[in-house]
Structure 1
Amino acid sequence: MIDFKSLNLHASILEALEKKGYTSPTPIQAQAIPHLLENKDLLGIAQTGTGKTAAFSLPIINRLGSNKIKVKPARMRTLILTPTRELASQIDENIKSYSKGLKLSSTVIFGGVSPRPQIMAMSKGVDILVATPGRLLDLMGDGHILFEQLEVFVLDEADRMLDMGFIRDIKKVIAKLPKVRQTLLFSATMPNDIADLANSLLKEPVRVEVTPESTTVEKIDQKLCLVDRTNKPLLLKSILQDKTIQSVLVFTRTKHGANRVVKHLEDAGIGAAAIHGNKSQGARERALDLFKRGKIRALVATDIAARGIDISNITHVVNYDLPNDPKSYVHRIGRTARAGREGVAISFCDETELKLLKDIEKTIKMKIDVDTTQPYHGAEPHLAKKQPLRNPNEAKGNKPKHNQNRRRKPLNKKASGAAPRKSN
């Protein structure tokens, strides 16, 4: 088995890894680090939770620490571009941890907070800058960020950047970067727009792919709960009555939905907090901190807000609402079963979400087993207001008498453009 010592990293980096208890690299780290130490461009196809942050940050730290130079004001030697504030903060935390012995400087820039401390940090120059596109462009426009000393550019979560509409901003940033540089691009999936961007960015890149597109993490126990929409709060509270569930990440489709779930849980005496785009950065950081320290059991999030969450001890993921994009299902449940642990993913599905469920199962190429141990399938008449949903995994039985999706004939034939029917 390969260990970090065999990857020719600086002794202080190995010491930092040892303090964290890391001895063996993940597959993407083992494959990517040797190429990056040779200053090659890299295309990494890997989902969150595979260890890709260390895969690119360790060789960058090794490079900068082995060849220290004075960084001028407003400049940086490495730029790491990420889609969300949470992910930017976590990357910066990891870099500070790994580079402590080499005394490299790093800072993070994102929106939602005052730009003044970020401007002050950049006025001194930094070795590594981690940023989100919007605030980076703002500071670039005001002359607070310059790229003359840039050596390495990392574009992380490229597919999520595309989903969030950041591609135009990214291209504006890239246009200002030096032509001679090492470039790394990471993406969980490779849609055409990202493939085109990679071709324009990378020069003779090494391709590292450790997780096939939309493949579900094998160690995750996936369960499905068929439930009436009005019973979802009751079902979630019932699941969380199990005191062994210490850390659960709950996904909702909307920001308001996240707030409602938190209120339901708090009313039941279950500690919970929400993170989404309407929350201030301070509120999001406080919620994450409470969740990490076990002060609350449930963190309720939307897809975009949760993108940067990398917490190793999440035991359960609950899809309170199924995602519209089936690939998001893979990203969501990948928040559990990290660092070799096992995890459980529970998905709620009401009548309006059966099509979404079908798309998810087609994407992951498997059926998700219905959890019959939960009470909200119509077995509890005082809790189920409607008839239970038909199990979509069973063979088709009684078909409905009317096809709900069949197009109805217009009542007014004349208005529809059809010739009026003669009466007999």
Structure 2
Amino acid sequence: MLEKLKNHIAQNLPFLEHKKLFLAVSGGLDSMVLLHLLQQLPYEIAVLHCNFQLRGLESFGDQNFIQNYANQHDIPIFITQFDTTAFAKDYKLSTQVAARELRYSWFYEQLETLNFDYLLTAHHADDTLETFFINLTRGTGLEGLTGIPMQNEQVIRPLLPFSRQEMELYAKENKIEWREDSSNASDKYLRNKIRHHLIPTLKELNPNFIASFQKTQNYLQEAQEMVEDAAIMVYQQVAKAHENDIYFDLKQLLKLPNYKSYLYQWLHEFGFTAWQDIYDLVESQSGKQVFAAKYRLLKDRKFLILNPIDFEPTNEEFLIEKSATVVKIPLNLSFCKVDDISVATNETIFVDEEKLVFPLVLRKWKTGDFLQPFGMNGKTKKVSKLYKDEKLSLIEKENTWILCSNNQIVWVVGIRQDERFKIENSTENILKIALI
């Protein structure tokens, strides 16, 4: 097994050479085999151990076991303890999900703090097989059937080519001690049910089932790579990025006979799960939205617009005193007196300073807001109608600011000036206001 691992690393993970490696060690068979193997290879290693305090004295027995092993072999070890049950309750997570969140958060923290390069875990071929069936029962797409990745950022899984049977044999041949997790004997968890009942039956039907499954995994991974390549090529025809937003052209999208598959490929990495709602969004009316935890997808006329939810609707108002020359929050504006006017634009206006009541106020649109658009001879117009006529998306509406004087709109910033503050023949003090 050692020679096989050396060849595997040389062929697939050569970048590990001369790197500092953490090993995630629980004290169980898999992680103790990983630790034993890495002790025989020319790497600088250290052990990370998490005590989740889920099995009473047994959890502390695991901690003491791996602590003693590390001390006996002069291996640096770092240990942490979690109140996993309380964390799961506070954040309304399952115990398994809570433990995963806690350990990987701590792992990445240690990588950064102690300046290590990678974290190695002991996932192996049987883990990949179990994950395949777990995802299959939950109705996954192709990506969910391709198995556990060998590398995920700084997390490396060098034992994926090895079966549990190989690891058990290696442990017995090398007289490696390990701790048995009593929870592994329970059928409480889906993974254990698959491990105890389904997989033994499959191995009974085909003694070489693991090897056959690994071939299938390779085929699935190759198919997934082809899908990803196609998605990238089509993405360039359908999508365009603008600042933090991505616009999907519906006309181009609907030319694709399997556009739903492309939407899945493009959007699943952003955390979306309500796929039927997203597919329905294509044919829905403007303004409809679908949300993920950190992103939303908006239907806006001829586009689907993806943007991050990194702001909260604000009722905050910003005051601008008469003495101000530059404002930088919430957006950059300049104020200066001039002797004459040049051509006004959407980004520059000229107003009669004597008509203004200071402090001016910058705020967002409110229901009932209206203005007298410059050049419309005193006719009023609701700001909501102005937004509609300008064909602003919901995102653009949310990010537009309004400059007011004594509750009257002076400027829908970047869009339209109000006529009530325009320059006249009697104007003595001209104030230029510009986006910068």
Q: What range is the shorter-chain TM-score in?
A: under 0.3
Decide which structure has greater strand share. 2
TM-score scaled to structure 2, two decimals? 0.24
User: Which of these two proteins has the greater Rg computed from alpha carbons?
Assistant: 2
